[in-house]
Amino acid sequence: MDTNDRKEVLKYIDTLPLDRTVKPKPVLGVDDLLLLLNCHWARDKSVYRIERQRVQFALILLLLFGTGCRPAELVDAKRKRRDNPGSDDDLESDVDMGGVDGDSRRPDALYYEDVRLLVVHSPDNSERDVLAMERVHGPVNCTELHWKDEMLKTPIFRRDGSEAALPYNQLRDPLNCLGKISGINEKLTNYCFRHGIANVVDHAATDAVRDQMIRYNANSALYNGHYANEKVRFDVQSAGLGRPSVGGVLRMLTHMSLMCNPRAPVHIPEEYLAALPPDPVITALEQEREQLKAGAYRIKGTSIEAEVRRLTAAIGSARTKCRNIISQEFRDEYFRRRPTEDIERHNNGQLEEEYIEPVVEYEIPERTQLVKLICPRVADTTPQNAVKRRIQVAELMLALCKCREVPSRYRPRVGIPAPSIFKEESPELGPLDPVVPLKYRNKHCPFCDGEFCRPATMMNHVERIHLKGVDPKAKKECHYPRCKSLGVVLEHLQDFKSHIQLVHNITLRA
């Protein structure tokens, strides 16, 4: 660009109300990595579609910190072509697993053929060889471990147990959620790992090695502009006064976990959210959809189907965006308010609020055993015991990959009585046990005890799963615990629906 043109562009940019302050570059340290791994295994309540994703997510964290790679080097980060912005596929993911139509090239992800495993001979013959064997066999310095031929073209990090590479959004969203669970104030992204390892290498290696590690041309000066920690890791005051530098304190002050607070809320409580006025944009979209539907419930195959689905997608996107913004503002306000409240509570002589570690119940026994092995810090252990511990952890991870956790809304209630024998006549309902509720939410399935997001979704589930092909004149038993123990059997389907509505407050379609 011509020099005069560049000056004119800069003058025009100065007239715009732009924020030209330097954006913060959070830096992740090894203590932060241990905190994240501990929260991932012990405190994360997220339910993955298959538990293999939980195991491979922990491996991705280690690779991001240990290599400084970009996410596109591990997962599929290609953008998706949005021919139909209102389609269901567009809502599920914002990446394309196979590129454009007709493109047979593989995604830019990590495949088994990209990884070489070597067992290297240990320089000290008294120790085990690195990394897995007791010794390297033969007069060689290493033993290479080969993958099976059918696994070479398979991505290491996969989605839903299929052969497709893991999309980027399934790495980005759990990473952001993990940062909130661990109590970190800043937003946790993959570049926090990249910033952290780049700053560590910058202090221990030459500029050429650092640029090679972060995949930049040597002497490009991109590190100083985009990766250098904004918090200078040098004790200027001690250097000026001629005193020894306090390196440990400086290291702590330059990492993300400095302001970590595990008590910080992840989401805004429902009572706060309910007290807020409705969003005008969402309200306008809902009114437009209701006017378009004109009271109709089923729209499949009608002329308004495409427009109604577009509005529904826009409403869902607007609600999610609004909730995320409000939750982030609520969380930021907590971090601003909490230190002042702690100081005022101390000055007033009040007792310090005791932090109670949240108790997480694990549905899968293998995960429970993994938490007991991974999370505690073992100080005094022999090399043999450490090897046995690693082998046990590897076996448990392999077993965990084959498991799947059931979401909470599909888990049966604890303490449901055993099924009773059907009775020919329905006895009169007496007083029910106060422990078992009579009235349920209108989103409850009266058959499988599932909890759904809306009553209409529950009704669709009942009609498709439980009442499909059922004779309307056949007798129906009430599946709720107390009614089942009393042997409540209704004469036909309509009496069953009336009983469910009057006794249990659940409405089904007539």
Taking only the tens place, the pLDDT of each residue in 37-90 is: 999 999 998 888 889 999 999 999 999 999 989 888 999 988 765 544 444 444
Give the CA dihedral 211, 222, 190, 204, nearest 10 degrees: 40
What lies within 8 Å, CB to CB, of 320 at 6+ separation is: none
**Which of 404, 362, 356, 260 shows the shortest CA–CA distance to 375?**
362
Query: C-alpha distances in angstroms, 109 versus 69, 70, 78, 162?
Result: 12, 10, 10, 15
131: confidence class by pLDDT, cuts 50, 70, 90 = low
| Pair 487, 420: CB distance under 8 Å | yes
Q: Is 95 helix (H, G, I), strand (E, B) or coil?
A: strand
**Could you tell me which residues are beta bridge partners of residue 79?**
95
Q: How do residues 115-127 score in pLDDT, each as one tens digit? A: 988 888 777 766 6
What gap in Å lies between CA 233 and CA 258, rounded to an integer? Answer: 14
Sign of CA dihedral 5, 10, 14, 16: positive
Q: Rounded distance, CA 3 to CA 1, Å? A: 6
> Alpha-carbon distance 480 to 415, whole Å?
12
Percent of the chain as helix, strand, coil, to the nearest 5: 45, 5, 50
pTM of the model: 0.69
Joined tokens for residue 139: 């007069």
Lowest mean pLDDT among 373-382, 401-410, 414-423: 414-423
Chain centroid, CA 243 distance in Å: 46
pLDDT class of 387 with cuts at 50, 70, 90: confident
- For residues 324 and 330, give the distance between their C-alpha atoms in angstroms, rounded to a whole number: 10
How many other C-beta atoms lie within 10 A of the C-beta of residue 194? 25
For residue range 472-493, list pLDDT tens digits in order: 888 888 877 677 777 788 888 8
Whether the CB-CB separation of 508 and 495 falls below 8 Å is answered with no
* Radius of gyration over every alpha carbon of the chain, rounded to an integer in angstroms: 29
What pLDDT was estimated at residue 393? 92
Per-residue pLDDT tens over the stretch 251-303 = 777 778 788 888 888 888 888 888 889 899 999 999 999 988 887 778 888 88
Burial of 496: CB neighbours in 10 Å, binned 0-12, 13-18, 19+: buried
